[in-house]
Chains A and B, each alone.
Chain A
Amino acid sequence: MDLKRVVVALAFVMPIAQAVAAEQIRGAAEAYAAGDYAYAAMQFRERASHSPSTGVFHNLGNAEWNAGRTGPAILAWERAQWLDPASTNAQANLRFGRFTAQIEAPRLKWFEVASTWLPVHAWPWIASASLWLAVSALVIPTVFRWRKRDWHQAFAAASFAVFLATLPALLGVHTRSKLGVVLADKTALRLTPTREAQSTVTLRAGESARVERERGNYVFVRINGDAAGWVERERLGVVAAR
């Protein structure tokens, strides 16, 4: 009885939710076309908070950029590229934004570059599937006393090789998830996580930083392997935010 109610409710609620989402995106696009970038950004931001997707983040970045908010724009494009590294639109806009604002792109290590070859959520699935396939290829024939075949071994070896190949990418995804973007211009990089701390460097909106640790309302970041210090949490947007 309860299951039936749930199914009926989902059958009615899901189309309504989809219609609301479509209407919200359409309204945001119309506001964008009319030049009301702040409203368009607000709508895209709300949609992205409910169902993150490459297109919504890309459009959010465009609206933020035209509204004059460089930091949030680059963060949104980074998130679009995070979900889909093959998105040429996100790549182009990131390149455009950084070029226009004279901001350096984050320097990625080799395994981080490898992690951008596929969508960020693809690597764990590939790693999981390849690992268990390799283990299964070894265990199941033995358990069921199948006659040993060469392809059993080859399949297990190939699956395990794929699993090993995904490990650097998984590490890259993990380290890239610590990347952040400075949201506000003239953000102070402080020596200690306090408001009265001495400022060593002033960061520009849109600059990339890696979060190394957190304490209270501050995060310790490193700028492209160079300067490091504490910044206020709300002045930094982490790409893989929870």
Chain B
Amino acid sequence: MKFKVQSSKFKGSSKPQAQNAQPRTQGWSFLGNLSFELGASAAWLLIAFLIVGLPAAGQIVITSSPSGSIIINQGGGRLIIQGGIVIQGGQVISGTVDPQLLLMMSQPPIDTNQAVAIAEFDPPTVAAGTRTTYRIVITALEDMIELPEKLPAPAGLKLEAGGKGQGLQNLGGIIQARSTFNFRAQPAAPGTLVMPAFKANVNGRAVTIPEARLTVLPAGSPLPPVPRLTLEMPTNDIYIGQSVPARLVMNDTGDNAVLALTQAHVEGKGLLTERGISRMSRPVMTRDGRPMMPISTEVLVTPMREGPLVVVGQANVVLRTLDPNRYAAMPGYYPLIDTDPLTVTVRRVPKEGELPGYTGAIGSFVLEPLQLSANTVQAGDPVKLQVIIRGEGNFGRFTPPMPAPDPDWQVFPPTAEASPGSQAPGQGFAAFTYTLIPLSERVTSTPLIPFSVFDPERKAHKRHTIPPVNLTVTPASGVVARRVAEAPHMNPDDPGSDEKAPVMAGLMKESGASFGSLVPLQQRGWFLALQLAPAAMLAGLWLWDLRRRFLAAHPDLVRKRRGRRALVRERRRVRHALRASDANRFVTHAVRALRAAAAPHTAANPDALVARDVMRELPAGTNGTDAACVRRLFAAADAERITQRSEGLSVLELKADFERVAGKLEERLWT
């Protein structure tokens, strides 16, 4: 549904659409924030509209009279609202008015009938190449003003858009809006520059911006000092969401021309100035080697966007003297001044190292001792835990941390005792109160609340965990007792369920035994290889025992082995005797060799064998030469042993025969 507003003068409205002196008709959407848009008068319209009822058909025409009455024509009916009274058909139908609406009605209207403009250079005289401000002030709301896209600047004058602002001044029964547009001007050459008059569109009307003159002296010319505003704030290592102090310093020219700064703030895309939080002082400072007492105002700004931001400080300056002629139409006007632009670099809070319980707190904080409303509480009854955090930081920009869900606790979101959004620069604290309800008498302390902050000084996250507070919970009764009984029991193996709050142990002075690796031994190759050593040892023992048993069962093998060893030994000695041509030794060792080779077959002592015994062990088919050799060797040995008589070197001729016989006997030892 739509209705029309016809007004010749719509007092009290704050929107430009209602400022037109000519009667006009404009469509409005009924739904939405109608009363907010139209202000107090619109609220009355709404009341009257509701009183009349929602006419189903016909167009409603609303007009306002010069006397301040609001007339609603709806079909054949007519409703008049005058002085807070609703009149229909000549009769008062409603005299009851909401006090809030009365308060709204009592506010003086904004004067939009006259739009007066002033233009000036501040200061009006500068040296070539230095900066001045071209200021335009118009008595209208800022949204109603449309300046030309490009101002008609004279040649040799460079203009750049600067700060702009709007103020309201109560002139007694009417409010005058004043909008200021600053442009940074920089003349190039000496002379007199004239900024010509031009037209600006103010709420559909053409308003003349008067001309302004700038006297430009040669560069380096001495000029009286002028008040200048400077912005001081950190330009690096600031983070999104951080409350950064910015200082606006107004230098004093020495004549106390500047009395104060008002509405100081910092403008910039992606930057938020904490309104209402500022601190003005007159510190003693040294500039260019000279002591001075400038006016300093600190404000808090919060960057909301990453990257480089161009910021400008602005403030209205209260001057001791102001040109009464120029500002005759604007009594009580405080010129808006701004600083040179400053570029700051904003970063994101790093995700690296972010700790549990980080809710956007940036700064340096200290957790004060916790305060619990009661030390003993019945299960099911609430207890309040107050947490106070002090320090420097963005108290109004982070949310209180919440503990992890715990079946033994019901935790309500914390409330701030003072609005966390309000922060005085020197105060620096935030107080939260948690309402906790223990659901079990098993708990002995309040739940631990993880909380961490980002410290911009250290560029690192820091832990400020809200520790548990000891609490005695008595058993509940009734419904609560049943709920406590139904609460899930905590795992006794879980260390976190222990009654005592855990604490961190400090550094260990002793390193303890060192290990080569963290890998368990059974997964290391050398350890598995080491297991082969005892296995091999035991296996060797076992095999040795087996062989020993085998040899015990077969003694002929042992004798033959011994025989082979003795035969080898004696044959070596025989060869030595032959090389030395020692017949006696040859005979002796040759006989011993023959006996050793023949003895294993008869299980006899080798020394007990005679030539016949040896010949019997010769293989079948042996010729007589072999036997003769054996007999002769034994005979020679007997002769030497019994008669001490040697056969001489002739016995050495048996060398070849002996080797043949010994070879045959050796072959038998291997079978």
Within 8 A of B (CB), among A128-179: 128, 132, 135-136, 139-140, 142-143, 170, 173-174, 177
Q: How far is the CA of A79 from the CA of B519 in the complex (A)?
A: 11
Q: Known contacts A69-B353, A70-B355: does B465 contact A100 (CB below 8 Å)?
A: yes
User: A162 → chain B, closest Cβ, in Å?
Assistant: 16
Most chain B beta-carbon contacts within 10 A, residue among A101, A142, A204: A101
Q: How far is the CA of A82 from the CA of B501 in the complex (A)?
A: 24
Q: Known contacts A177-B520, A240-B520: does B507 contact A32 (CB below 8 Å)?
A: yes
Q: Determine if B503 and A240 form an interchain contact, defined as CB atoms under 8 angstroms apart.
A: no
Is A117 among interface residues, defined by CB-CB distance under 8 A? no
Is B222 among interface residues, defined by CB-CB distance under 8 A? no
Most chain A beta-carbon contacts within 10 A, residue among B450, B512, B544: B512
For B340, the chain A residues whose CB sits under 8 A away are: none
For B462, the chain A residues whose CB sits under 8 A away are: 68
Q: Determine if A68 and B461 form an interchain contact, defined as CB atoms under 8 angstroms apart.
A: yes
Within 8 A of B (CB), among A78-115: 79, 82-84, 87-89, 92-102, 104-105
Q: Determine if B502 and A52 form an interchain contact, defined as CB atoms under 8 angstroms apart.
A: no
User: A157 → chain B, closest Cβ, in Å?
Assistant: 18
Q: Determine if B450 and A101 form an interchain contact, defined as CB atoms under 8 angstroms apart.
A: yes
Q: Known contacts A101-B356, A102-B356: does B495 contact A51 (CB below 8 Å)?
A: no
Instruction: Determine the residue in chain A with the shortest Cβ distance to B455.
Output: A68
Is A56 among interface residues, defined by CB-CB distance under 8 A? yes
Most chain B beta-carbon contacts within 10 A, residue among A94, A97, A102, A127: A102
Q: Determine if B504 and A65 form an interchain contact, defined as CB atoms under 8 angstroms apart.
A: yes
Q: How far is the CA of A125 from the CA of B530 in the complex (A)?
A: 11
Is B29 among interface residues, defined by CB-CB distance under 8 A? no
Q: How far is the CA of A80 from the CA of B448 in the complex (A)?
A: 26
Is B173 among interface residues, defined by CB-CB distance under 8 A? no
User: A152 → chain B, closest Cβ, in Å?
Assistant: 15
For A173, the chain B residues whose CB sits under 8 A away are: 520, 522
Is A121 among interface residues, defined by CB-CB distance under 8 A? yes
C-beta contact mask, A184-200 vs B, less than 8 Å → 1, else 0? 01100000000000000
Q: Determine if A54 and B512 form an interchain contact, defined as CB atoms under 8 angstroms apart.
A: yes
Is A124 among interface residues, defined by CB-CB distance under 8 A? yes
Is B670 among interface residues, defined by CB-CB distance under 8 A? no
Within 8 A of B (CB), among A5-60: 25, 29, 32, 47, 51-56, 58-59
Q: Determine if B356 and A204 form an interchain contact, defined as CB atoms under 8 angstroms apart.
A: yes
User: B49 → chain A, closest Cβ, in Å?
Assistant: 54
Number of chain A residues close to chain B: CB under 8 A: 63
Q: Determine if B541 and A139 form an interchain contact, defined as CB atoms under 8 angstroms apart.
A: yes
Is B404 among interface residues, defined by CB-CB distance under 8 A? yes
Is A120 among interface residues, defined by CB-CB distance under 8 A? yes
Q: Known contacts A68-B461, A95-B496, A99-B448: does B512 contact A124 (CB below 8 Å)?
A: no
Q: Known contacts A25-B511, A83-B515: does B495 contact A98 (CB below 8 Å)?
A: yes
Q: Determine if B503 and A92 form an interchain contact, defined as CB atoms under 8 angstroms apart.
A: yes
Q: Known contacts A68-B353, A105-B495: does B503 contact A100 (CB below 8 Å)?
A: no
Q: Determine if B514 and A177 form an interchain contact, defined as CB atoms under 8 angstroms apart.
A: no
Within 8 A of A (CB), among B519-551: 519-523, 527, 530-531, 534-535, 538, 541-542, 544-545
Instruction: Determine the residue in chain B with the shortest Cβ distance to A54.
Output: B512
Q: How far is the CA of A82 from the CA of B517 in the complex (A)?
A: 11
Instruction: Determine the residue in chain B with the shortest Cβ distance to A120.
Output: B520
Within 8 A of A (CB), among B469-502: 494-496, 498, 501-502
Instruction: Determine the residue in chain B with the shortest Cβ distance to A176.
Output: B520
For B504, the chain A residues whose CB sits under 8 A away are: 62, 65, 92-93, 96-97
Q: Determine if A99 and B355 form an interchain contact, defined as CB atoms under 8 angstroms apart.
A: no
Q: List 22 A-B residue pairs with CB atoms under 8 Å apart, sorted by A's residue number.
A: A47-B511, A51-B514, A52-B516, A53-B515, A54-B513, A55-B512, A56-B512, A59-B507, A68-B452, A68-B461, A68-B462, A68-B463, A83-B518, A95-B495, A97-B504, A99-B496, A105-B496, A121-B515, A127-B522, A142-B545, A242-B518, A242-B519
Additional 17 contacts, C-beta under 8 A, given A53-B511, A59-B508, A105-B496: A47-B511, A52-B514, A54-B511, A54-B512, A68-B355, A88-B505, A92-B505, A99-B501, A100-B502, A102-B450, A124-B520, A128-B530, A132-B531, A132-B534, A139-B542, A143-B541, A174-B523
Q: Which 7 A-B pairs have the closest CB atoms?
A: A55-B511, A124-B521, A51-B514, A96-B502, A95-B495, A55-B508, A89-B505
